[in-house]
Every structure is written in C-alpha cells, then in structure tokens.
Amino acid sequence: MIYPANLEKDFYIGVTATSSGYEDEVDYRRLDNAIMNLKGYGYHVIVTPNVRSGDNKGRSSDAAIRAEELLNLIKDPQVRAIIAASGGDFLVEMLPYVDFMAIKENPKWIQGFSDTTGLTYTITTNLDIATIYSYNFGTFGMENWHRSLSDNLLILEGNNIRQNSFNMYQDGYYERITGIEEFVLEKEVEWRTLLPKGADESLGINIQGRMLGGCLDVLLNLIGTKFDKTIDFIEKYKDDGIVWFLESFNLSSGAMVRGLWQLREAGWFRNAKGFIFGRPAMYKTEYDISYEEAIYSVLGELGLPIILEADIGHKPPQFTIINGALATVQSKNKKGTIIFERR
C-alpha cells in the first residue's frame, strides 16, 4: 500500500470540485472561511476555477474539465493534499478522463466523502494508493471547529491517532444562513452491534483488517465497470482481510437489500473480516424493513461482526478513514474506536 507524503506546514491543500461546485454567496463565505481557517494552521490553499462555477445542474463543470483541474493539482509539487469541494451525483462522469498514471506517479492524499467515493475508492483499489474518506472542504468553513476536523488534519499530517466515537451527532439537515454554521449536535451517539450466532455480547467487537469502502450509493455504480478492481485488491490483501466501511445517502430498505446482495454475489465480501456502517442519511423503510433488518438479511449468513450507527458519513461528526490502511475497530457498550496502521 502506498501512503502519500504527509501534509506539512508551508505546503498546499488543493480544492477542486469533482462533482458539485459552489453557487451562492453562502457557499462562497463558507469556502473563504475554510481557507482562512486552514491558513491559520499554516497551510496554503489553492482553489481550482470550477469550485465557484456550479451550473445549477449538479455539476461544477463538464467531466473533462473536472479531470483536468484535478490533474493540475496532482502535478503541482507544492500540493500535498487534495480535498473535494463538495459531494453531488455525477463524479463518475469524470472517471474516463482521469489521468490515473499521473496519480500513480504523483501520489497525494485525496479526500472527500459521499459522491467523492467514485474517486477515492477507485484510486485505492486501482492504484494501491491510500485515500481519505472524510469531510469535503466546505466543512472546514465552520466558525468553531469540531474536534473531528482537528483529528482530520492530524491524520493528514501523519499521526495515527486513536479516534473515539463522539458524544452527540447531527441527525437532520439545516439550511445555512451565514455559511459558517457549526454542527447541530442533537442526538446521542450509540454504536450498535450485530454479532454472529453464539458470540459473547459482553466482549463487544474487535475487528482487525484493511479498511475499504465508502458510500454505497456510489459503489453500486462501479460494479462491473472497467474501474472495478475490487476482486484484485481483496485477493492481494487476503492475508490481512478486509474491514468494510459502508454508509448510504438515499437508499431505501429495498435498495439496501438489493445493493448489498449485488456486492455479495459479485464477490466483494470474500476475505471480509467484518463490517462497520455509518448512520444512514435518508433511509426510507419499505415493507416495514428496518435498517438493521435490511443489512442482516444479506450479511447475517456470512457470520461476521457488524457495527451499525458508527461515526462515518453523512450525519456528522465523522471519523477520518484511511481507505486501504490496516485498522483495528472496537465497539462495546454503544461506543467505539478506530486506530490505523500505515503498512
């Protein structure tokens, strides 16, 4: 596994809109505040033109331009990390235009979540380069940082810190008025566990393996395409085993069942050691099937530990996940921890 050079002071963080861009003054203020915040930590920030050029159709620019602006950051020797401006729906359109050879020759930390999965997951499984599943750039624009943002920077800087589950999380979506709003922490974080039959619940869950995953909505689009090198990846690291981290944006119970079934039958879960699911963003139950039931109906037969409602994905705060790194994940008494090893 290739780990890009650590983010160091006086180097640059590049920001580009691989999916949606920013379209209004509220977004621009959040962007500018994020740049100011990171400068306060000693980092320069480069923003590509498409970040401020959303076309109101869900795209910052056409697919070729998005790939070109990413490439400009990849080739810039002063850039140590690249963070997606935002999520969206159409990142996959740019994949045929991405210069993967340039990324292989110039490995850098590439970070984002949700739709950014199309890029981070593909880079890790195709090129054997670790990527970061965590906040898109706009989150760094909040006025008073949540500690998860400081943890994010520490990990980019090369620190393998222990991340502990948070106390509270934001359950809904709130319209921004100023652009620099913080999280609305309204519900208690409670990790849940689904154990194999016969397992001692009092012991909790302890899983070790190589982390891999992202947003299920996007992963399902990659299956069977030329960018799907999942089987090769999991075979290469079969001795380590895979700890799958997964979360969903807008999958209903039926879509969740069908999607997990498709991944399982495509062989993606071969060599799995366990699963950790984030809090679903917009889960809609059909046939009175709960989130837990949807997952267990497909994965239960694998006899592996499953963690639900973890601090990953769309309902912040979220962990910083190193896609491709070895990890130890523990869950007990409704709380959990993750720590990574870069080998």
Per residue in 72-89, pLDDT (tens digit) is: 999 999 999 999 999 999
* 197-211, 214-228, 264-278: least confidently modelled range: 197-211
Please give the Cα distance from 300 to 81 (Å, whole number).
38
- Given a cut of 80, whether residue 54 has pLDDT beyond it is no
Model pLDDT, residue 200: 78
Model pLDDT, residue 217: 98
20 or 199, greater pLDDT: 20
Model pLDDT, residue 72: 98
Domains along the sequence of the chain with CATH: 12-161 (3.40.50.10740), 164-341 (3.50.30.60)
- Mean pLDDT for 60-71 is 96
State the Cα torsion 93-97-100-106 to the nearest 10°. -110
* Residue 119: partners with Cβ closer than 8 Å, 6 or more residues away: 18, 84, 91, 94, 95, 98, 110, 112, 131
Going by pLDDT thresholds of 50, 70 and 90, the confidence category of residue 138 is very high
Please give the Cα distance from 278 to 308 (Å, whole number).
6
- Given a cut of 90, whether residue 177 has pLDDT beyond it is yes
Model pLDDT, residue 42: 92
- Outline where the chain has alpha helix (H): 25-40, 63-75, 100-105, 117-127, 147-156, 216-222, 230-236, 253-265, 291-299
% of residues, the chain, pLDDT over 90: 94
- Given a cut of 90, whether residue 10 has pLDDT beyond it is no
Look at residues 307, 299, 317, 283 and name the one whose alpha carbon lies nearest to residue 191.
307
Cβ–Cβ < 8 Å for 207, 340: no
113 or 57, greater pLDDT: 113
CA angle 255, 228, 56 (to 5 degrees): 65
- What are the CA-CA distances from residue 60 to residues 1, 63, 210 (Å)? 32, 9, 33
Model pLDDT, residue 56: 65
Model pLDDT, residue 269: 98
- Given a cut of 90, whether residue 197 has pLDDT beyond it is no
Q: Does residue 234 sit in helix, strand or coil?
A: helix
Please give the Cα distance from 310 to 288 (Å, whole number).
23
Q: What is the pLDDT of residues 267-310, one digit of tens each?
A: 999 999 999 999 999 999 999 999 999 999 999 999 999 999 99
Mean pLDDT (the chain, rounded): 96
Please provide residue 111's backbone torsions phi and psi, each rounded to the nearest 5 degrees.
-130, 150
